[in-house]
Amino acid sequence: MQKIITGIDVGSFGVKTVIAEVSESSPYPRVIGVGQAKSSGVRNGIIVELDEVIQSIKNAVATAQRASGVVVQEAFVSYGGAGLQELHSNSKLHIARTEAEISYQDLDELKHLARQKLRESLVNREVLHSVRVKTFLNDEEVFTDPVGMMGSKLQAEYFFITAIKQHVQDLKTAIEEVGIEVVEVVATPIATSLVALNKQYTIPGCALIDIGAQSTMVTVFEEDNPILLKTFPVGSANVTHDLALNLQIPITQAEQLKMGSLTDAQYSSKKINDIISARYRDIFKLIQEYLKENKKAGLLPAGVILIGGGALSETALTVAKQVLKIPVQKAQSKTKFTFPPTILPAYGLCVYGSQIDSGYSLKNGVIRPLLSFVKKFIPYLP
């Protein structure tokens, strides 16, 4: 039976829909339909005009449905932008049973205790993902799943990715108004990481930087886990605004200049590049300060991977290298499929969804290596 997965990425600049078919012979579903529409009613990743967003989603979904011949009934949906926030917590559990063998129930209790410590921080917020980044058994760190091991004291450090509850509800409402059931809301950087990163990046340490229209998200990975996340309320639209103000030209013309699709003899290429560079320098300085605060500046061996509409600019790549002083590259799909970088989050949602399915139904072992990474973000897979 054909298994179809749909991912819908609602951003400040555009809505992207990817419809894909799951294959038991590949860890990556095959794309059969893509739809994009200009996003209206979204600011910094947050819905401010529900009716406008609904229409944008309808347009993107309709295009993908026509291309695939599939009617979308359910979808995985991304959440990004200003509402994302990291929280850190730890917990300790004493095992009082005679046979002190660690169980999945113990891990559930450990996570519950860590979350309980965050009660005040979670007022009006919702946990999208919880990741156990470090585990200790009898005061010694263990680097594998401790289930089945013997011990009397279990400790862990947790990384939580949270979102504002009302914003998540607004997003679900917009999707459901189109007649589509929301299977799960997934943090955008988690979805993107599934197709833009691999263990060569996530184990030694890297930063995934998503430069959107109105916000820039930074997610740091280390030892195959996300450990830091920060959203800055500035993005590529600010570059456009800087060009419009400094050159006193219309926004549409400024956008064309930024993307290099328009040259204007009235302004030197140096002046245009200086304006663009100045804004990107400000963005990457904010990121560098954040990395310094968390003792990661210059200490990410796998460097930086840039994604998002703002990362299409060669100037962004150049300035990032100058400011961050570590290797920087643009994100590319690690699958056999080739996508524009702006489509990767929506396709990542399809990969995420296909791995949930594989956890229950695919028994041939082909997808297991990727599933082991995805599992840490899914609360209901053992």
Domain annotation for the chain: domains and CATH numbers: 4-82+165-196+334-377 (3.30.420.40), 84-162 (3.30.1490.110), 200-330 (3.30.420.40)
Decide if pLDDT at 26 tops 90. Answer: no
Decide if pLDDT at 154 tops 70. Answer: yes
What's residue 370's pLDDT? Answer: 57
Residues 148-154, mean pLDDT to the nearest whole number: 91
What's residue 306's pLDDT? Answer: 95
What's residue 359's pLDDT? Answer: 45
The identity of residue 246, as a single letter, is N
**Which of the two residues, 367 and 23, has the higher pLDDT score?**
23
pLDDT digits (tens, 9 = 90+) for 122-136: 999 999 999 999 999
Residues 159-177, mean pLDDT to the nearest whole number: 96
**Which of the two residues, 376 and 184, has the higher pLDDT score?**
184
Contacts of 284 (CB under 8 A, 6+ apart): 319, 320, 323, 324
Percentage of the residues of the chain whose pLDDT score is greater than 70: 91
Report the predicted TM-score, pTM, of the whole model to 2 decimal places.
0.89
Token pair recorded at residue 127: 């946990």
What's residue 95's pLDDT? Answer: 87
**Which of the two residues, 193 and 265, has the higher pLDDT score?**
193
Token pair recorded at residue 242: 């800087």
pLDDT digits (tens, 9 = 90+) for 330-369: 988 777 666 777 899 999 999 999 887 554 333 333 334 4
* pLDDT level of residue 10 (50, 70, 90 thresholds): very high
Token pair recorded at residue 375: 């599992």
What's residue 362's pLDDT? Answer: 33
81 within 8 A of 10, measured Cβ to Cβ:
no
Percentage of the residues of the chain whose pLDDT score is greater than 90: 69
What's residue 381's pLDDT? Answer: 44
Decide if pLDDT at 2 tops 80. Answer: no
What's residue 379's pLDDT? Answer: 54
* pLDDT level of residue 39 (50, 70, 90 thresholds): confident
Give the up-direction half-sphere exposure of residue 156: CA atoms within 13 A in the CB hemisphere: 25
pLDDT digits (tens, 9 = 90+) for 274-328: 999 999 999 999 999 999 999 999 999 999 999 988 888 889 999 999 999 999 9
